[in-house]
Amino acid sequence: MKKPRILLFDCEVSPNLVFAWRLGKQYVTIENIHKERKVTCICYKWGGEKKIHSLEMDMSLHDLTKHDDHADEKMLKEFCKVYQEADLAVAHNGIKFDISFIRSRVVKYGLPDVAPVVLDDTYLSSKGIGFNSHKLDYLSQYLGIGKKSPHPYQLWVDVMRGSDEALIKTVDYCKQDVRLLEKVYDKLLPYIKTKLNRAVFARNSDLCPSCGVAALVSKGVRTTIALGIRQRMQCSSCGKCFTMGSIPLLNNKEYAR
């Protein structure tokens, strides 16, 4: 049975370097930007595998005297190749930040656009559940999974100043985020709506749409106005609850919605 390739990833971005006349609250315009922000590293892993891969910017091309540089171009080329191999991507705040910012740099370099891979965003998905916070660090600790590695402000400064050691520490920080991301995602999966239906992907209506395991148990029926009578189901493997009905998607079979 074919299983989806799930890519879990996170990226770190350098801050804009700006010039300001004074301290305190003020309006910073594009004229204040001395150095454009860029991707410093991207860490990723494939679901089911232990190894966490990393891509880093080329420090030899990093130049604080230039308004922008090409230090992250090669890294983005490599990541875009990796990204297009995924059937599903998973990131925390990936829709509004990670992929969005990565695309801004892809456009800058005139690279082929990021592949249209469906993305499960643990930040947005967790919004439907009443957690005190939806930050990755909070969710990790609340769920008893672990916590983020420390990343002091000085580390960002040292990376901007061209420190290879600071970049290595930033990569380690990013790798820990990917570890936490996978565990948080696995924990949330039975309670959120994933964008990849595992049953449809495997062309097998007997599988759980969330985890892809054939362990479905009937839990009675549910009557709806739009879809009529639908079968309540629950996966005895991951605990996901869902309904099935008479809506043919592939080969006139019934699939979970």
pLDDT above 90: residue 217: no
pLDDT score, position 248 = 39
Q: Give the residue-averaged pLDDT of 161-187.
A: 97
- The answer to whether 61 and 127 are in contact (CB under 8 A) is no
The candidate with the shortest Cα–Cα distance to 118, out of 220, 203, 7, 28, is 7
Whole-prediction pTM: 0.87
pLDDT above 80: residue 211: no
Mean pLDDT, the chain, rounded, equals 89
| Amino acid found at 129 | I
pLDDT score, position 227 = 58
pLDDT above 60: residue 187: yes
Of the chain, the end-to-end C-alpha distance in Å amounts to 21
pLDDT score, position 197 = 84
84 bridge partner residues:
none
pLDDT above 90: residue 232: no
Contacts of 131 (CB under 8 A, 6+ apart): 138, 139, 142
- The answer to whether 234 and 219 are in contact (CB under 8 A) is yes
In this prediction, residue 149 has a pLDDT band, given cuts at 50, 70 and 90, of: very high
Give CA–CA dist 148/141, Å, rounded: 9
Q: Give the residue-averaged pLDDT of 98-118.
A: 97
pLDDT above 90: residue 54: yes
The number of residues in the chain equals 257
Give CA–CA dist 114/96, Å, rounded: 14
β-strands 216-224, 228-235: how paired?
antiparallel
Torsion of CA 75, 80, 81, 84, to 10 degrees: 160
Give CA–CA dist 26/67, Å, rounded: 22
Instruction: Encode pLDDT of 60-93 as tens digits.
Output: 999 999 999 999 999 999 999 999 999 999 999 9
- The answer to whether 89 and 115 are in contact (CB under 8 A) is no
Instruction: Encode pLDDT of 167-178 as tens digits.
Output: 999 999 999 999
Give CA–CA dist 234/39, Å, rounded: 42
Contacts of 85 (CB under 8 A, 6+ apart): 5, 7
For residues 228 and 85, the model is more confident at 85
Would you tell me how many other CB atoms lie within 10 Å of the CB of residue 202? 17
In this prediction, residue 252 has a pLDDT band, given cuts at 50, 70 and 90, of: very low
Largest Cα span, the chain:
68
- The answer to whether 13 and 38 are in contact (CB under 8 A) is yes
pLDDT score, position 250 = 39
* C-alpha count within 13 angstroms, C-beta hemisphere, residue 98: 27
Domains and CATH numbers, the chain: 6-190 (3.30.420.10), 204-256 (no CATH)
